[in-house]
Amino acid sequence: MKTFKFLKNKYGVELLIDIGTYHDIPNYFFESELHHTDFYELIFFSKGNGYLELDQQRIEIAPHTIIFISPFQKRKWFLDKTKVESYFLFFQDSFLSNFFSDKLFSYRLQFFYNKTKPLFLLVNDGFFSQLVTIIQELLIEIKTFQSDSEHIIRALLYLMLIKLNRAYADHYRLSSETENNSIAFMFKEILQNEVSKVRNIDYYAQQLGISRVTLNKCIKKQFGVTVSEMVDEFILFEIKSLLSYTKLNINEISYQLQFSQANHLTRFFKAQTGISPKEFRNAYQNGSSAF
């Protein structure tokens, strides 16, 4: 699989954000071959068509669609490039986390690393042009870079992300609360990194220095599911990912994800999805969007 890495020194100085239109870097964009990146990516379509396969979602592209992609989410694009107009915004986590004392800020945003909700938002004209105004300002700033531009760019990015988070949370009926539930976001971060190795909930509670009961309360409040359900979602996601994007067989996948036996994995998968891992893989390979 292709990996695109962030170009830190594109503008002469080290800058962990980039903004532009699709036409600025047409060779990067809209590959139909499976690929991922090491940065966050927002894409704003003024005009669009076709669809995107992002992790295990199929997303139809229409005008005013905004796509949210987190680092290492796998994707393939299927669209007619000649009919696309879009802006992109890439950034690396440290562009924000180096300056914010809240190191979890991007994890608090509902649209990053969300395993259950759609990774896009279709917005109305008014909001889309508000966003485009911010993007235009970002474009000017990055093209006439000065010593204080990084602050202006970060302020605009911060504003845009939090507005998008509000709109996203409104639309999918999630909590837009980002303040008082650090436990929930820290759990999400640790789970993201460790779920393929550890599924013991006590382990996570211990890592966070709280009881299992408190952890459960925090997760329920923020994400509306129990800790077990969230762990299951994350494992299921890993299994689907390996079924879709690798040629590993069920035994190998079980081994990699620490299932003691392959039939435990198969039973888990069937209970969660209603179909067997094999059926899922076949459906994926035949291009059906079983996921």
Give the residues lining the site for its own copies (CB under 8 A): 98-102, 146-148, 150-152, 154-156, 158-159, 162-163, 165-166, 175-180
User: Between 132 and 213, whose beta carbon lies closer to its own copies?
Assistant: 132
Min. distance of Cβ 161 from its own copies in angstroms? 9
User: Between 82 and 101, whose beta carbon lies closer to its own copies?
Assistant: 101
Helix (H) or strand (E) holding 44: strand 40-47
User: Between 34 and 159, whose beta carbon lies closer to its own copies?
Assistant: 159
Q: How far apart are the first and last CA of the chain?
A: 20
User: Between 8 and 81, whose beta carbon lies closer to its own copies?
Assistant: 8
Min. distance of Cβ 162 from its own copies in angstroms? 4
Q: Which 8-state DSSP code applies to residue 6? A: P
Min. distance of Cβ 100 from its own copies in angstroms? 6
Interacting residues of 40 by C-beta distance below 8 A, sequence separation 6+? 69, 70, 71, 90, 91, 92, 93, 106, 112
Tokens (6 digits) for 271? 């209970």
User: Between 38 and 177, whose beta carbon lies closer to its own copies?
Assistant: 177
Min. distance of Cβ 105 from its own copies in angstroms? 9
* Cβ 151 vs Cβ 17: under 8 Å: no
Taking the C-alpha atoms of residue 20 and residue 25, their distance in angstroms, rounded to an integer, is 8
Residue 134, classed as helix, strand or coil, is helix
Min. distance of Cβ 88 from its own copies in angstroms? 21
